[in-house]
Structure 1
Amino acid sequence: MSQEPAAAPDRQPLDESAAESVRRYAADQRARVDVLASVLEDIAEHGYPSAESGVPWEVARDAHLARLADGEPRVA
């Protein structure tokens, strides 16, 4: 992507707070994609990991749900 502003005249500029928020979101998404890309590159280089070295999906699910439950309260 280009760092230059779009040439389209119908764009409305964001205020500085909104622009910073969008930049933070973009950086977060870029970091997530970088992690995924590194995992895929590792698989391409070394092959799939063995089933014995992995974590059962139930364990991963329960750990993720526990992390979510420890977060801020949310309205259902």
Structure 2
Amino acid sequence: MSQQPAPAPARQPLDEHAAEAARAYAAAERARTDALASVLEDIAAHGYPSPESGVPWETARDAHLARVVDE
């Protein structure tokens, strides 16, 4: 077995529109990940929130479905 790394495959450049779409997707995913990380850090620092302070899943579902219908 060779000790040399395998050569990297050649890359095809993206057109400007595709590159911008990839950057926008990356930014949106990074924002979602940052939001999740902040929630987890808050739970680690302060513990779980009490069930009484939360929103029932049915209420959250109905609000989400209403937003989808409005779009």
TM range (shorter): 0.7 to 0.9
What does the per-residue CA deviation read over 1:28-61, in whole Å, with 9 as the maximum and x for residues that have no partner? 0000000000000000000000000000000000
Bigger Cα Rg? 2
In the TM superposition, residue 8 of structure 1 has moved relative to its aligned partner by: 2.8
CA deviation string 1:11-42 (max 9, x = no partner): 10001111011000000000000000000000
Taking the aligned partners of 2:19 and 2:35, their CA distance within structure 1 comes to 25
Q: Tell me whether 1:21 sits opposite 2:21 in the alignment.
A: yes
Structure 1 residue 10, shift from structure 2 partner: 1.8
> What's the counterpart of residue 62 of structure 1?
62
Q: How many residues align?
A: 65
Aligned-partner Cα distance in 2 for 1:20–1:8: 24
Structure 1 residue matching 2:55: 3-state secondary structure: coil
Q: Aligned partners of 1:34 and 1:9: how far apart in 2?
A: 31
Where does structure 2 lack aligned partners over 5 or more consecutive residues? Answer: 1-6
* Structural mapping, 1:34-53, within 5 Å: 34-53=34-53
Scaled by the length of structure 2, the TM-score of the pair is: 0.87
Which structure carries more helix by proportion? 2
Q: After the TM superposition, which segments of 4 or more aligned residues of structure 1 sit over 6 Å from their partners? A: none
What residue in structure 2 maps to residue 74 of structure 1?
Answer: none
